[in-house]
Chain A
């Protein structure tokens, strides 16, 4: 069973995502972080297999967090969940090592698709 870390500065975004994630994953395997820095700490401590990551966040944004998380565990899957749907944004996160880029918000059926891919 894999562990999941959900990272977003918005509570709404986290709630929405976790609500759909819980349809497929046990709640105790889901952790929450409110910015890239918290995500880094939780990646060290909880060793998740999959990190959902927003891009625009205070303290440490997604762009800064991706390579740092990858450094902790090169096999970790990073799913960038962002409102930024510009092609360049996608290219940039893939170049940094993200596994997937999906547009916000993530409702149930989108989550199913994500879990199938990663």
Chain B
């Protein structure tokens, strides 16, 4: 396509436009009649010379950048009269009513020969158009001034924010360690017991190979389990990024945008009863991930119902230094015998699609990393999840 168009342009445009063929170092390969006439320079005398030597006003860096881009993408790039005015200086002969001294030019840079890195520069006279544009441009100055003030303000805010961040980078290591210690107590005592057993047997001379092998195997397994629990319970959900101010209304409206399609697909009404300007300071990603898991559970639950009036409602209660978020659905609730298991890892009633890790991870994130709590209430009507979070983590 680009090729055909190029050929077409080159043939028909020859008399109305200037055409220069150059490579990506600006060496001239062709300089057409139109240009000879307007610049009073012969093609002979410029061939193999550099374009920016002949016309020193040309901005070499910019032009080369454009040429390389055109070649790389195999599509045209441009200079427009509106901003660059002209590439090749050509004095205007007309003496009256022109605001320009030089011909205003639109320049297209069209890939010509990819192998040899050649482009055609097509130059069009746009002096009349440019006069009109010049008037338009004057508007932009005003806006620039207005915006400057805004930007200063924004910069200041950013700086303050940065200061806040650096002063609050404390990891929740202590909690993690105590959690691991709790998980390890049992397996550790198992290892100790087995070692003690072996010691006794050795002293009594009753330690045979089979027992030894067996004990080693058990110990090995337990050690694997230990390292698994470190992994399972610690690292993957540890926040990587820093905390920030989060607008809760926006979190529930914008940030969950991709759940909205699914909700409308199942005709679920999604209501947000949260004041538009409530903010808390916490880990955004982690909070978002938890909320999405909870809302997804509600959506999943609706998929099992034949209800016509499906609602998911989120609301908020403000306390002195914390907030409580409620996420509520009317999807029929959770069976009594399941309710006590829902936070256990791998517990799921969804045969093939559920990992059963959703709520377990939510609880881990909310309690360990966001320093909050999560509670779930359920009856035959529906489920209500309450998340309590500190306003300033």
A residues in contact (CB < 8 Å) with B: 9, 37, 40-42, 44-45, 58-60, 64, 67-69, 71-72
Contact = CB atoms under 8 A, between A and B. Distances in A.
A40 B364 CA distance: 14
Given A41-B358, A44-B357, A45-B355, A64 B240 contact: yes
Contact of A37 (B241, B257, B289): B289
B235 A41 contact: no
B20 interface: no
A10 B335 CA distance: 34
Given A60-B285, A60-B289, A71 B240 contact: no
Main SS at interface, chain A: helix
Contacts of B285: 60, 64
A71 B231 contact: yes
A40 B288 contact: no
Interface in B228-277: 231-232, 235-237, 240-241, 257-258
Contacts of A42: 355
Given A41-B357, A60-B289, A68-B237, 9 more contacts: A9-B258, A44-B236, A44-B355, A45-B355, A60-B285, A64-B240, A67-B240, A71-B235, A72-B236
B361 interface: yes
A66 B358 CA distance: 19
Contacts of B358: 41
A42 B361 CA distance: 12
Which 3 A-B residue pairs are closest in the complex by CB-CB distance? A71-B235, A68-B236, A41-B355
Interface of B: 231-232, 235-237, 240-241, 257-258, 285, 288-289, 292-293, 346, 355-358, 361
Given A9-B258, A67-B240, A44 B232 contact: yes
A105 B290 CA distance: 31
Nearest to B232: A44
A59 B288 contact: yes
A28 B292 CA distance: 28
Contacts of A9: 258
B167 to A, nearest CB: 24
A45 B235 CA distance: 16
Nearest to A43: B236
Between A9, A45, A69, the greatest number of chain B beta carbons within 10 A of the residue's beta carbon is seen for A45
Contacts of A44: 232, 236, 355, 357
Q: B232, B236, B258, B355: which has the most chain A beta carbons within 10 Å? A: B236
Contacts of B237: 40, 68
B250 to A, nearest CB: 15
